[in-house]
Amino acid sequence: MNNISSEIKLTIGYIAIAFIFSVAMRMIWVYQFNGFEPFIFNGQFMINTNDGYFWAEGARDILSCVSQENDYSPITTAVSQLTAFFAYILPFTFETIIFYMPVVLSSLVVVPIILIAKSIDNLELGFIAALLASIAWSYYNRTMVGYYDTDMLNIVLPMFLLWSIIWAIKINEDKYLLITAFDILVYRWWYPQSYALEFSFFTLILFYALIFDRKNLYNYKLLAIMMFAMLNIDALIRFPIVIGIFYTFKQEKFQKYIYHILVISILAFFATGGFNPIWSKLKAYVFTDAISMAKDGLNLHFYSVMQTVREAGKIPFETFANRISGHTITLILSILGYIYLAYKHRIMLFGLPMIGLGFLALVGGLRFTIYAVPILAFGVAFLITELSQKMPTTKLKYLSMITFTLAILYPNYKHIDSYKVPTVFNSSEVEVLDKLKTLAGRQDYVVSWWDYGYPIRYYSDVKTLVDGGKHSGSVNFPVSFMLNHSQTVASKMARLDVEFTEKAFELIDKNKDLNESKKVKFFTNIEEMTKEYGFDDTNDFLLSLPTDIKLPKKTRDIYFYLPYRMLSIFPTVNIFSNINLMNGEQGKAPFFFISKNFKDSKNSIELGRGVSLNKRNNSLIVGGKKIALRRVVNTFYDKEMKLQKNIRLIDFSAQLSLIYMADYKTFLILDEKTYNSLYIQLMVLEEYDKTLFEKVITNPHAKVYKLKI
């Protein structure tokens, strides 16, 4: 009894130390930026992930009990609901809660790691693995302080699921049937995309049962209750089903029907479309095409957003190794250690689905590496404990264990110390949005690129056309088109896109109570515009925009939010509208060159990448060739922080212009079309058509204009 009590105390002690260690490492960022005003708003650090503002919007609306129709506020999501609950019961500000939630919740990963190690009677293994896994590159990057997103529990919950599966298989106690099913219910509630990992666990258990323990009915009970918990139906229906199945399994008279129940559960899984989400996710992240095409209507072609998402891109092996274990050598040792661990303890093979999902990063992008972190941490930790056991004395045993543990932790600590991620927006940008909230109505729209959609909605409480979740090629096209075209054309597209977006909402509402045969089909906004204006070719419709076309009736105001930071991604923004929608052919890329690291000499300014400016005759040298400039523009802010500009026409026949933004220490070289684009004219030059736009808010970091038409 005393041994059991001491083991429990040791387990709790290891969990407490590992948890505190994980929290402490995440507080390094806070220490580094303590008092740094650009990262602070309303007395608290702002978060550093765009998606976090999505969940924050939902939590805010839950607490206020206000959510407007068609605003996409995630009031029914787990993250928003849990955040609202914490904000309601805890004596901290809302901003403080969302900033520190990732620190506390993600550090809980140490609990299942140590409990899993306890199942194979090696607590030191679990302790070392917990220390490494809690701060490994990819896990830290996606759960650091301020990284308020689903990732703060996306590894914690499957690790608890793995723990319950391991203990269920090992002990065969009925309570673990229910615990495993509840783990799945909670995991699905928190992260609806959990299908793939749940199904992988199910498949592995099935193989295990058929190969190693075929006659054990308990395994088939576990599979059946997991499958019912995984059905693609509402959790409020799955929960009582799970309870009912558990009650059935407790009855002796139903034991002979276990196989039948398992078959029914599998049929129900596929009948409810359980495999569909798994396949759709694989297609989205692994089988990505640059151009997507509508399947009916005008068969328009759009540029796929997945081509521009960094986390969905392929990564080099060194990056892959660093993100999982902190170093290539550590990863290799982790893999070898895991093989050895699985050989010694077959039960650890159940971690393979998470390793497999992690290795998907080699083809599907860096976001997957996070899944392999805790399982492979077991591998290197096992090697350390095994090696330490061979030491001749107890003192050497613990000394070697500490030394090797510090060795594998050090690269990860160095990464944390150097990983100085900025907040999504700086305080000056947020001040603009906070002021906009007092000017715009909740039904009004703010046009900007999708990267900024969630923060705009959170701080200004308005609608947006695109955001982090709504950014397919078809919805990105009109916004990209606005930002890259003249003010006249952009203003018309803005009014069209907003009113057709609202028209789509109305049609969806009308179709809600109709059967499929009577529903009216709504294609993309751009296709509906084409048809309504009597065109069969979208290119012809776009060419008609400079003419005097009749616009839809104005139902709400539209604002343009144009941040300076968009300059760095402006070529990417252009890609989405620089395409022939009828055949998918990508247009010639506009000339856009930006330089923030330049060297000023007596006769020239070296802008980098073989580009320089001859100061004597105001010509460019590109790759050794002299190119004339159409105009040279110098912009700066005066003492009243009003933008001033000096424009010198050089050669009206030339195609390129140079802009020097003095206060930003930034050079721009642009072709004529880009120079006249809405973003450059309104944000960089503040040259706006007063019949179309009204300047509402400006500061050097961001500018807001109100559309008049």
The model's pLDDT over 408-422, given as tens digits with 9 standing for 90+, comes to: 999 999 999 999 999
Q: Is the pLDDT of residue 437 over 60?
A: yes
> Which tokens belong to 241?
């089903």
> Residue 282's pLDDT band (boundaries 50, 70, 90)?
low
Percent of the chain predicted with pLDDT > 70:
94
Task: Give 466-502 as a DSSP string.
Answer: --SSS--HHHHHHHHHHHHS-HHHHHHHHHHHHHHHH
Higher pLDDT, 311 or 191: 191
CA separation for the pair 293, 690 (Å, rounded) = 38
Torsion of CA 662, 663, 667, 671, to 10 degrees: -90
Percent of the chain predicted with pLDDT > 90:
82
CA separation for the pair 435, 446 (Å, rounded) = 13
Looking at the 3D structure of the chain, how many domains does it have? Answer: 2
- What pLDDT, on the 0 to 100 scale, is given for residue 141? 97
CA separation for the pair 533, 522 (Å, rounded) = 15
Q: Which of 669, 666, 663, 664 is nearest to 650 (CA)?
A: 669
- Identify whether the C-beta of residue 561 lies closer than 8 Å to the C-beta of residue 268: no
**Mean of pLDDT values over 81-87:** 98
> Which tokens belong to 588?
């010639």
Residue 263 and residue 188 share a domain:
yes
CA separation for the pair 677, 7 (Å, rounded) = 69
Strand (E) or helix (H) holding 657: strand 656-661
Task: Give 57-82 as a DSSP string.
Answer: HHHHHHHHT---TTS---TTSHHHHH
> Residue 151's pLDDT band (boundaries 50, 70, 90)?
very high
- What pLDDT, on the 0 to 100 scale, is given for residue 529? 95
Q: Is the pLDDT of residue 308 over 70?
A: no
Residue 433 and residue 353 share a domain:
no
Residue 583, helix vs strand vs coil = coil
Give the β-pairing of 693-699 and 702-707.
antiparallel
Find the CATH number of the domain harbouring 479: 3.40.1380.40
Strand-pairing partners, residue 302, are 292
- Residue 673 belongs to a domain: no
Which domain-ending residue is among 374, 401, 418? 418
Q: Which amino acid is at 249?
A: F
Residue 193 and residue 146 share a domain:
yes
69: left (phi over 0), alpha (psi -120 to 50) or beta: beta
Q: Is the pLDDT of residue 234 over 70?
A: yes
Q: Which of 568, 561, 555 is nearest to 459 (CA)?
A: 561
- Residue 668 belongs to a domain: no
Exposure on the CB side of residue 41, measured as CA atoms within 13 A: 20
Q: Which amino acid is at 590?
A: P
Strand-pairing partners, residue 41, are 44
Residue 437 and residue 407 share a domain:
no
- Residue 170 belongs to a domain: yes
- Identify whether the C-beta of residue 205 lies closer than 8 Å to the C-beta of residue 165: yes
Q: Is the pLDDT of residue 169 over 90?
A: yes
Residue 446 and residue 346 share a domain:
no
584: left (phi over 0), alpha (psi -120 to 50) or beta: left
CA separation for the pair 640, 334 (Å, rounded) = 59
Which domain-ending residue is among 384, 418, 452? 418
Q: Is the pLDDT of residue 514 over 90?
A: no
Residue 503 and residue 448 share a domain:
yes
- What pLDDT, on the 0 to 100 scale, is given for residue 550? 94
- What pLDDT, on the 0 to 100 scale, is given for residue 371? 97
CA 228 to chain centre: 29
- Residue 640 belongs to a domain: no
CA separation for the pair 582, 320 (Å, rounded) = 39
Question: Model pTM?
Answer: 0.91
- What pLDDT, on the 0 to 100 scale, is given for residue 288? 53
Which domain-ending residue is among 418, 443, 461? 418
- Residue 666 belongs to a domain: no
- What pLDDT, on the 0 to 100 scale, is given for residue 454? 97
Residue 385 and residue 361 share a domain:
yes
Task: Give 107-135 as a DSSP string.
Answer: HTTHHHHHHHHHHTT-HHHHHHHHHHHHH
| Exposure class string for 158-182: b at 16+ Cβ within 10 A, else e | bbbbbbbbbbbbeebeeebbbbbbb
Strand (E) or helix (H) holding 613: strand 611-614
CA separation for the pair 677, 105 (Å, rounded) = 45
- Identify whether the C-beta of residue 189 lies closer than 8 Å to the C-beta of residue 78: yes
Residue 462, helix vs strand vs coil = coil
- Residue 625 belongs to a domain: no
Instruction: Quote the strand ranges of 277-355, DSSP E.
Output: 291-293, 301-303
CA separation for the pair 32, 145 (Å, rounded) = 12
CA separation for the pair 622, 600 (Å, rounded) = 16
Q: Is the pLDDT of residue 668 over 60?
A: yes
Residue 103, helix vs strand vs coil = helix
**Mean of pLDDT values over 285-298:** 59
- What pLDDT, on the 0 to 100 scale, is given for residue 304? 80
- Identify whether the C-beta of residue 149 lies closer than 8 Å to the C-beta of residue 52: yes
- Say which range, 36-50, 56-70, 96-110, 694-708, has the weakest mean pLDDT: 56-70
Q: Is the pLDDT of residue 538 over 80?
A: yes
- Per residue in 487-500, pLDDT (tens digit) is 999 999 999 999 99
Q: Residue 460's domain spans which residues? A: 425-590+682-709
Q: Is the pLDDT of residue 21 over 90?
A: yes
Mean of all residue pLDDT scores within the chain: 92
Question: Beta-carbon neighbour count of residue 437 at 10 Å?
Answer: 15
Residue 377 and residue 491 share a domain:
no
Higher pLDDT, 10 or 516: 10
- What pLDDT, on the 0 to 100 scale, is given for residue 436? 97
**Mean of pLDDT values over 150-162:** 97
Residue 433 and residue 378 share a domain:
no
Residue 429 and residue 400 share a domain:
no
Q: Which of 119, 592, 508, 523 is nearest to 299 (CA)?
A: 523
> Residue 580's pLDDT band (boundaries 50, 70, 90)?
very high
**Which contacts (CB < 8 Å, 24+ apart) does range 262-269 have?**
262/220, 262/223, 262/224, 262/227, 265/223, 265/224, 265/225, 265/227, 265/228, 266/227, 268/227, 268/228, 268/231, 269/227, 269/230, 269/231, 269/232
- Residue 598 belongs to a domain: no
Q: Is the pLDDT of residue 295 over 70?
A: no
- What pLDDT, on the 0 to 100 scale, is given for residue 279? 63
Residue 538 and residue 410 share a domain:
no
- Say which range, 305-319, 513-527, 605-619, has the weakest mean pLDDT: 305-319
- Identify whether the C-beta of residue 313 lies closer than 8 Å to the C-beta of residue 365: yes
> Residue 292's pLDDT band (boundaries 50, 70, 90)?
low
Q: Is the pLDDT of residue 518 over 70?
A: no
Residue 612, helix vs strand vs coil = strand
**Mean of pLDDT values over 23-52:** 96
**Mean of pLDDT values over 245-271:** 92
Residue 340 and residue 483 share a domain:
no
- What pLDDT, on the 0 to 100 scale, is given for residue 334? 98
Cα 519 to Cα 70, 507, 508, 512, 522, distances in angstroms: 19, 9, 9, 8, 9
**Mean of pLDDT values over 523-546:** 94
CA separation for the pair 510, 313 (Å, rounded) = 40
The length of the chain, given as a count of residues: 709
- Residue 510 belongs to a domain: yes
Higher pLDDT, 620 or 511: 620
CA separation for the pair 67, 60 (Å, rounded) = 9
The residue written with tokens 């004529």 in the block is: 672
- What pLDDT, on the 0 to 100 scale, is given for residue 365? 73
